[in-house]
């Protein structure tokens, strides 16, 4: 009976691998995620080598298959994950137009394009912001006083945040996530 209860408990806990495993990404937690990609245009890639296709978008996830070297990658979803933000201290008064997304650590495409409140954000010398991700056209996701914003914020231009970019593919019945970086893929011209 004890083995039976233990087995049920293990199965129950195993049904929540995403919550545990997301905290293991690259040896740390995922600080922020957007369901967008960095920069303008629609990205296109080709596999530089045989790539593992993972069940979930994090290192250490179960590999479900492999994508062959030279395969053009078409994706259905994307997750751009900030693993470690870059804290920057504002050096003088800054006033920018920004989109306020509130205390949100995940920005979906819908949220990005259809939610958020346009504000005039006033920052003063000594304020600390967390630069989260480059977005596009000179804008960033950044955090100030626990809230997530998007806007053009020059102090983020050289901020060395740490990120992981994942895309979900569905290719001939093969479904899963691939890590996008200069070692895994050839970056092809973007579509506009």
d(CA 140, CA 125): 20
pTM for the predicted model, two decimal places: 0.81
Question: Using an 8 Å Cβ cutoff, are 146 and 70 in contact?
Answer: no
14: phi then psi, degrees, rounded to nearest 5: -65, -25
Say how many residues make up the chain: 192
82-116 pLDDT, tens digit per residue, is: 999 999 999 999 999 999 999 999 999 999 999 99
8-55 pLDDT, tens digit per residue, is: 322 322 222 222 233 334 445 899 999 999 999 999 999 999 999 999
What integer best gives the mean pLDDT of the chain? 86
122-163 pLDDT, tens digit per residue, is: 999 999 999 999 999 999 999 999 999 999 999 999 999 999
Distance (Å) of CA 119 to CA 57, 116, 124, 131: 33, 9, 16, 18
Domain ranges of the chain: 2-83+162-191, 86-156
2-83+162-191 topology per CATH: SH3 type barrels. (2.30.30)
């Amino acid at each position: 009976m004890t083995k039976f209860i233990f087995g049920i408990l293990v199965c129950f806990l195993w049904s929540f691998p995403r919550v545990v495993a997301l905290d293991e990404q690259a040896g740390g937690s995922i600080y922020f995620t957007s369901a967008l990609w960095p920069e303008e245009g629609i990205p296109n890639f080709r596999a530089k080598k045989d790539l593992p296709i993972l069940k979930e978008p994090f290192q250490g996830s179960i590999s479900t298959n492999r994508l062959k070297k030279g395969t053009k990658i078409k994706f259905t979803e994307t997750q751009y994950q900030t693993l470690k933000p870059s804290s920057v201290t504002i050096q003088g008064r800054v006033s920018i137009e920004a989109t306020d997304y509130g205390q949100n650590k995940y920005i979906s495409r819908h949220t990005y394009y259809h939610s958020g409140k346009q504000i005039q954000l006033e920052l003063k010398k000594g304020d600390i912001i967390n630069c989260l991700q480059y977005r596009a056209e000179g804008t960033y996701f950044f955090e100030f006083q626990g809230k997530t914003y998007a806007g053009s914020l020059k102090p983020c231009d050289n901020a060395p945040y740490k990120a992981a970019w994942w895309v979900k593919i569905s290719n001939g019945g093969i479904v899963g996530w691939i890590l996008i970086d200069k070692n895994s893929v050839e970056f092809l011209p973007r579509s506009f």
